[in-house]
Amino acid sequence: MRIFRTLAVLSGLALVLSACGLVNSLVPDQKVANPLGIDGQTITMSAQPGTAALSPQATGTNTFGGNFSGTFGDIDASSIPGGVKPSGFVADIGIDSTATIASTSASSLPATINVTNVGLSLQVNDGATAGGTPSFTLTPPYTHAGTLLVLTQQAGTCSTTSGISCDYAVTAGPDLGAALIALSLSSSDVGTLWQIVTTGSSTNHAGGTVSVTLDQNLPSDATLQVKLVSKEGTLSF
């Protein structure tokens, strides 16, 4: 995956400016397509053990979570002057416009559901399997609260062959902000990410969990299926 524009004009300046730390300021932000290899990945979230019902009379759960795992390749940094490293990395992670909720024990599902909290844990390492080096873990895990998303049941999409399964349209809530998960790495994690994508194994790994909290309970056997969207990230220098 070659993401960098040709920066040959900078190489002649590198020796002059590197001591002053000015080369970084001359390198434009670099866009990275599908930066963690998770864009378009489907996650089936299940009820999280130990989550409490919203009221003593309610049954089921309102918190769901699921795992994701993706691979992404190294980048071609040959046109970047020696010693120049990125100072920042940001990427938006969202959920596609359709979600599916299913339950084998229920005969109906709510017409509208709000997502009131989202959490992300993330581990990135240099290698296709966990434990590769170098690596970093998002600490503390990302959380975002408020009325973030609104799930509206789509008419005519419910199947009652075994329990019930319905498709929901996913739209932004009033507290969403720019993105559901606006990932921004610390400077130390950016440095580790740069090592991961420029050295070692050419196939890198990103994995973790996404969790959501809903404003009402669903049956404890319910599943929430969503598709992740993370089309682009930005390395800044």
Interval 166-203: pLDDT, tens? 999 999 999 999 899 999 999 999 999 999 999 988 99
Dihedral sign for Cα atoms in the order 110, 114, 117, 123: positive
Dihedral sign for Cα atoms in the order 185, 191, 193, 198: positive
Domain boundaries, the chain: 8-236
Position of tokens 């973030």?
A: 148
In angstroms, the Cα distances linking 102 to 58, 95, 149, 223, 225 are 19, 18, 18, 5, 8
Mean pLDDT value across residues 49-76? 74
Mean pLDDT of the chain: 85
- Residue 137: count other Cβ atoms within 10 Å of its Cβ: 14
Interval 39-54: pLDDT, tens? 999 999 998 865 444 4
